[in-house]
Structure 1
Amino acid sequence: MLQEKIFDHREALLAALQEDCVDALESALKERDQASFLVSGGSSPAPLYQRLSQIALDWKRIQVALVDERWVEPGHAKSNESFVQKNLLQHAAGQAPFLGMKNSAASAAEGLSACEQAYQKLPQPFDLTILGMGPDGHTASLFPNAEGLEEALTTDQVCSAITAHQSDVTGEYTERMTLSLTGILNSRRLVLLITGEDKLQALRAAQAGDTVNDMPVRAVLQQDKVPVTLYWAP
């Protein structure tokens, strides 16, 4: 289920992925009243979002929502919501309705019910979901052997609360809200966007093994429900 698009440099990757994202969203809007665009944080997608923000799509009909979030307030330096506001929800895309994950609950676990209710109101299946992957094999906030990972991999709910084991990858903010595996696979199109040799090596390691708890991206790579397109450049 994995189609690989390998590029020699990031500019070529961005041009191709921008075109594919626009095509996916335009096709969705032709078929339905609303489209849904699920986005991840991280350095790799930032230039993609900046490009998409300039495209004259009917953004008022494109519901943007997060793939995952640290349990920090909007405006925090590590907030994915703030990252998406800064990089995507500007210019033409500033008209897009947006749904974040962080709510007023004291913890992600306590905020899960409200988050799930909000996400259930999104147009489903999601039309386009952008995933990343860490060198530890996590995707979204499905971190290796995290507290809540087993639930996130098996639940029928769209959202899950996760507490990761702190590492150089997680940083200090280990409490997360994330799409569950069900939520990720509740998508018409999945894009796995990674850059750098270390990420490619991690992907190959994930493909070579089958223990999902050690590298949760394997759950996405091994499934046969939704096609996944890999975009990679050095």
Structure 2
Amino acid sequence: MAEEKFFQDRERLVQALVHDCACELQKGIKESGNASFLVSGGSSPEPVYRELSKRPLPWSKITAALVDERWVEKSESGSNAAFIEKSLLQNYAGEAAFLGMKNSHATAAEGEQECERSYAELQRPFDVCLLGMGGDGHTASLFPHAQGLEDALNPESDKLCSAIIANQSEVTGSNTERMTLTLSAILQARNIKLLITGEEKLKVYREALLGSDEMEMPVRSILKQGLKPVTVYWAP
């Protein structure tokens, strides 16, 4: 069962999440000399990244790596790599290393092996994995009933990265071709944090807790696994 940290407003949530991420990254550096920080795109974590970037951490010893990515160039709208560069990799955090997912291959499926090789170089266990959740119950690019989802949700898999083709919806927009960390990769993080905001997302979260079909609401695969602690951060 996830630990719930619910706040009266988003400002308090941001301060708490920034503090928790900073502490865990510093702990990772103290223990092994370096730290790995798995980061998600989206509007919810943006203020967290902007605030975290102003913290004078030993950023040169931290590698930020994407949780998922649309298969688009950095210059195109929707690129998580461009978003992280603009929001997190600023100020003090400009010294951090960064690992993206999009490579030169034409499709995510063709680029999967190269992505896999890159992510295999990251320090594990990952120190912090920050996830979001969509109104359809997806997390990372683990979308309901997507092509490639069953493979990506296999907890026994030794794959870190998985190509996904989502079913187009209001949530996905036109960019249905994605690369995502697998469930197995996410579960190699010491600290899994799920950030959600607003009453609608809270309803989706509650619904996810009640059911068991992971193909219908893939976030259940994170919330209902008993292997790694998950902390849910929410504010109205």
- Which interval holds the TM-score relative to the shorter structure? over 0.9
Determine helix, strand or coil for the equivalent of 1:130.
Answer: strand
**Paired AA for residue 165 in structure 1:** N
Determine helix, strand or coil for the equivalent of 1:92.
Answer: helix
- What's 1:182 paired with? 184
> Alpha-carbon deviation of 1:77?
1.6
| Structure 1 stretches of at least 4 aligned residues deviating more than 3 Å after TM superposition | none
- What's 1:3 paired with? 3
- What's 1:171 paired with? 173
**How large is the Cα RMSD of the aligned pairs?**
0.6
**Paired AA for residue 46 in structure 1:** E
For residues 231 and 13 of structure 1, the distance between their equivalents in structure 2, rounded to whole angstroms, comes to 7
**Paired AA for residue 7 in structure 2:** F
> Alpha-carbon deviation of 1:213?
0.2
- What's 2:57 paired with? 57
> Alpha-carbon deviation of 1:135?
0.6
For residues 125 and 139 of structure 1, the distance between their equivalents in structure 2, rounded to whole angstroms, comes to 20
Report the number of matched residues.
234
For residues 174 and 184 of structure 1, the distance between their equivalents in structure 2, rounded to whole angstroms, comes to 21
> Alpha-carbon deviation of 1:74?
1.1
For residues 140-155 of structure 1, the aligned pairs below 5 Å read 140-154=140-154, 155=157
For residues 167 and 71 of structure 1, the distance between their equivalents in structure 2, rounded to whole angstroms, comes to 17
> Alpha-carbon deviation of 1:76?
1.6
- What's 2:232 paired with? 230
For residues 31 and 132 of structure 1, the distance between their equivalents in structure 2, rounded to whole angstroms, comes to 27
**Paired AA for residue 234 in structure 2:** W
For residues 1-234 of structure 1, the aligned pairs below 5 Å read 1-154=1-154, 155-234=157-236
> Alpha-carbon deviation of 1:221?
0.7
Determine helix, strand or coil for the equivalent of 2:3.
Answer: strand
Determine helix, strand or coil for the equivalent of 1:69.
Answer: strand
For residues 113 and 47 of structure 1, the distance between their equivalents in structure 2, rounded to whole angstroms, comes to 33
TM-score under structure 1 length normalisation: 0.99
**Paired AA for residue 181 in structure 1:** L
For residues 77 and 47 of structure 1, the distance between their equivalents in structure 2, rounded to whole angstroms, comes to 19
User: Residues 130-167 of structure 1: CA distance to partner in whole angstroms, max 9, x if unpaired?
Assistant: 00000100000000000000010113201100000000
For residues 37 and 180 of structure 2, the distance between their equivalents in structure 1, rounded to whole angstroms, comes to 15
Q: Which runs of 5+ in 2 are unaligned?
A: none
TM-score under structure 2 length normalisation: 0.98
**Paired AA for residue 126 in structure 2:** F
> Alpha-carbon deviation of 1:33?
1.4
**Paired AA for residue 232 in structure 1:** W
Determine helix, strand or coil for the equivalent of 2:189.
Answer: coil
Determine helix, strand or coil for the equivalent of 2:202.
Answer: helix
> Alpha-carbon deviation of 1:208?
0.5
Q: Which runs of 5+ in 1 are unaligned?
A: none
**Paired AA for residue 179 in structure 1:** L
For residues 199 and 176 of structure 2, the distance between their equivalents in structure 1, rounded to whole angstroms, comes to 25
For residues 170 and 199 of structure 1, the distance between their equivalents in structure 2, rounded to whole angstroms, comes to 16
Identity %: 57
